[in-house]
């Protein structure tokens, strides 16, 4: 992850942080602005209110003057004097500035920081003259100080006067500037805290990803038995579970391949051993005959006899191997075989073998027929009878019988010879397994007969079962399915055979 540029947490971090900071910035700015606008409009209202207070004050003062002098008309000069006096009185105790104009000229003013009838207010008045009830307020900036300037008409004795008041509101702007600075500082610290928060939150949230990642690395490194513990949020838990599932199937496959390779190696090792043992004798004895200066007649017979014996062993091994290879690769060619015919043929082919050993074969044939590959089935039964004959002593009997069960045809080959112990029965169908090597070899056995029979049974979708007791005899049961296998079935059998052969690799 680190090698591939920007990490996920960094992406999320750099996406989320500016967004958050921007949102907070905009919100505070909006709040500040609204607050400022409200403050300003409050100030304007206050100016307006104070302005009207002045207006009323002026009117009251004039009335008072009139009643004091007893003259209902003060006249232009009298009004002017009263106004000048009033302005100075009114502004004596306040921060307000006040000015009265008539016909654009100033009659009286007090406490004004600048010419009031000027600037933006004047422009505004020229655009739209005041009407009698109106009080107009504008904001004005003069030398970095902020003011509200209010104006209204003041009718006195049929004359129109203009009353201006001014009020400084710089403190409002200063407060606003302070608030902006405070918000900036707040935003700075907020950014820092948010960055820290996001960093740790992301590390915490994404830590299951690292856990999963390191797990995958270990699995990829060959530790297929590793399982991840589901941690973190639902996505990571399901990810862990799926990775576990993947690792399990990889492990199972590896195990299968390993088993296959192991049994292949075992087979090759055994084959090498079985081939080299007779070869060693053949080569050794032949070499002795070649290099020895004088060979006695007894020795010559002994050496040559051993050579022939061992060569026969090799011949039998190669024959059995060919059969096994054929059984591995051939698809059983199933046809309907009448049992009587089959048994007759088998009896005929085993008769020389039985005659040589002085063993008698009892055949128990119920009649009927079955579906099977004729040659493979004959080879299987021949091997079983051959084994039984080898286990029997001269004069003993072997029985070949067959019975029809509900789904299966059950062949059995029984002898009352030496029998086998449990361990031998278990391993009997392993290729090259021989209970008694020296005896098997004397009989020309290579340890392949029963594994060939088991393979033939498997090919037909049947099975081979051995029942034996030491010194009491052995019965081998060969069960084959009774019905003609349908097309799909025979295909599934052949594919099943492939799997089975993978498992046993024999």
Partner 1 sequence: MPSIFIVEDDENIAKMIEATLSMVGYDCEKCPDGKEAVQRILEGRFDLILLDVMLPGLDGFEILSKIKMKGVPVIFLTALQDVGDKVKGLRSGAEDYIVKPFETVELLARIEVVLRRTGKNRKKLSYLDIEIDLEKHLVTKGGHAVALTPKEFDVLVFFMQNLDIAVTRERLLAAVWGYEFEGESRTVDIHVQQVRRKLGLKGRLVTIPKLGYRLESL
Binding mask 365-384 for partner 1 (x = CB under 8 A): --------------------
Reduced to 3 states (helix: H, G, I; strand: E, B; else coil), residue 129 is coil
194: which 2 tokens?
Answer: 């948010």
Cβ-based nearer residue to partner 1, 146 or 303: 303
Distance CA 152, CA 4 (A): 74
Distance CA 257, CA 345 (A): 42
Residues 240-269 that bind partner 1 (CB under 8 A): 269
User: Total number of residues binding partner 1 (CB under 8 A)?
Assistant: 29
Reduced to 3 states (helix: H, G, I; strand: E, B; else coil), residue 401 is strand
Q: Is the dihedral of CA 214, 220, 226, 232 positive or negative?
A: positive
- Output the smallest distance, CB 3 to partner 1, in A: 39
Cβ-based nearer residue to partner 1, 23 or 308: 308
Binder of partner 1 out of 11, 33, 37, 273 (CB under 8 A): 273
Alpha helices per DSSP H over 71-169: 75-91, 119-127
- Output the smallest distance, CB 298 to partner 1, in A: 11
Binding mask 441-460 for partner 1 (x = CB under 8 A): x-------------------
- Output the smallest distance, CB 490 to partner 1, in A: 40
Distance CA 46, CA 52 (A): 10
User: What separation in angstroms does the CA of 13 have from each of 7, 111, 187, 503?
Assistant: 10, 59, 18, 53
- Output the smallest distance, CB 354 to partner 1, in A: 26
Residues 282-321 that bind partner 1 (CB under 8 A): 282-285, 287-288, 290-294, 299, 302-303, 306, 309-310
Q: What is the DSSP string of 32-65?
A: HHHHHHHHHHHHHHHHHHHHHHHHHHHHHHHHHH
- Output the smallest distance, CB 261 to partner 1, in A: 15
- Output the smallest distance, CB 291 to partner 1, in A: 4
For 46, what's the count of Cα atoms within 13 Å in the CB-facing half-sphere?
13
- Residue among 186, 183, 166 nearest 175 (CA): 183
Reduced to 3 states (helix: H, G, I; strand: E, B; else coil), residue 354 is helix
Alpha helices per DSSP H over 413-464: 422-427, 437-442, 449-459
Cβ-based nearer residue to partner 1, 312 or 484: 312
Contact region for partner 1 (CB under 8 A) — 69-77, 183-191, 279-287, 393-401? 279-287
- The yes or no reply on residue 43 touching partner 1 (CB under 8 A) is no
- Output the smallest distance, CB 428 to partner 1, in A: 17
Cβ-based nearer residue to partner 1, 77 or 297: 297
Binder of partner 1 out of 437, 465, 467, 482 (CB under 8 A): 437
- Output the smallest distance, CB 256 to partner 1, in A: 24
Binding site for partner 1 (CB under 8 A): 269, 272-273, 276-285, 287-288, 290-294, 299, 302-303, 306, 309-310, 437-438, 441
């Amino acid at each position: 992850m680190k090698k591939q540029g920007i990490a996920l947490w960094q992406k999320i971090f750099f996406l989320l942080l500016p967004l958050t900071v921007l949102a907070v910035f905009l919100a505070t700015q909006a709040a500040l602005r609204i607050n400022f606008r409200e403050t300003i409009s409050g100030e304007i209202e206050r100016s307006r209110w104070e302005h009207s207070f002045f207006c009323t004050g002026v009117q009251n003062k004039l009335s008072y003057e009139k009643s004091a002098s007893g003259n209902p008309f003060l006249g232009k000069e009298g009004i002017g004097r009263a106004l000048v006096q009033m302005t100075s009185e009114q502004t004596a105790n306040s921060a307000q500035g006040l000015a009265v104009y008539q016909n654009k000229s100033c009659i009286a003013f007090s406490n004004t920081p600048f010419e009031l009838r000027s600037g933006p207010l004047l422009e505004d008045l020229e655009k739209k003259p005041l009407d009698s009830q109106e009080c107009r307020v504008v904001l004005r900036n003069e030398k970095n100080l902020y003011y509200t300037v209010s104006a209204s008409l003041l009718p006195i004795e049929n004359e129109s006067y203009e009353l201006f008041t001014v009020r400084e509101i710089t403190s409002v702007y200063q407060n606003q500037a302070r608030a902006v600075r405070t918000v900036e500082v707040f935003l700075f610290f907020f950014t820092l805290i948010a960055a820290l928060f996001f960093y740790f939150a992301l590390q915490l949230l994404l830590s299951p990803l690292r856990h999963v990642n390191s797990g995958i690395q270990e699995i990829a490194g060959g530790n297929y038995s590793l399982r991840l513990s589901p941690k973190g949020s639902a996505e990571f838990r399901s990810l862990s579970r799926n990775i576990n599932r993947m690792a399990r199937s990889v492990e199972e496959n590896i195990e299968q391949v390993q088993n296959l390779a192991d049994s292949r190696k075992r087979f090759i090792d055994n084959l090498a051993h079985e081939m080299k043992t007779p070869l060693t004798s053949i080569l050794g004895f032949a070499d002795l005959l070649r290099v020895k200066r004088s060979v006695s007649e007894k020795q010559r017979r002994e050496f040559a006899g051993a050579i022939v014996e061992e060569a026969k062993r090799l011949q039998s091994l190669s024959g059995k191997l060919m059969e096994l290879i054929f059984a591995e690769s051939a698809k059983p060619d199933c046809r309907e075989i009448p049992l009587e015919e089959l048994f007759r043929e088998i009896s005929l082919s085993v008769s020389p073998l039985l005659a040589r050993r002085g063993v008698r074969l009892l055949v128990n044939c119920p009649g009927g027929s079955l579906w099977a590959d004729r040659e493979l089935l004959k080879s299987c039964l021949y091997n079983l009878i051959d084994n039984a004959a080898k286990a029997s002593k001269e004069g003993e009997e072997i029985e070949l019988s067959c019975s029809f069960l509900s789904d299966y045809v059950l062949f059995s080959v029984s002898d009352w010879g030496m029998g086998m112990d449990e361990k031998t029965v278990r391993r009997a169908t392993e290729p090259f397994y021989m209970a008694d090597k020296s005896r098997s070899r004397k009989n020309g056995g290579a340890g392949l007969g029963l594994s060939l029979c088991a393979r033939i049974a498997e090919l037909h979708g049947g099975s081979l079962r051995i029942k034996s007791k030491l010194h009491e005899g052995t019965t081998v049961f060969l069960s084959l399915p009774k019905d003609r296998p349908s097309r799909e079935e025979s295909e599934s059998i052949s594919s099943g055979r492939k799997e089975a052969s993978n498992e046993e690799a024999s």
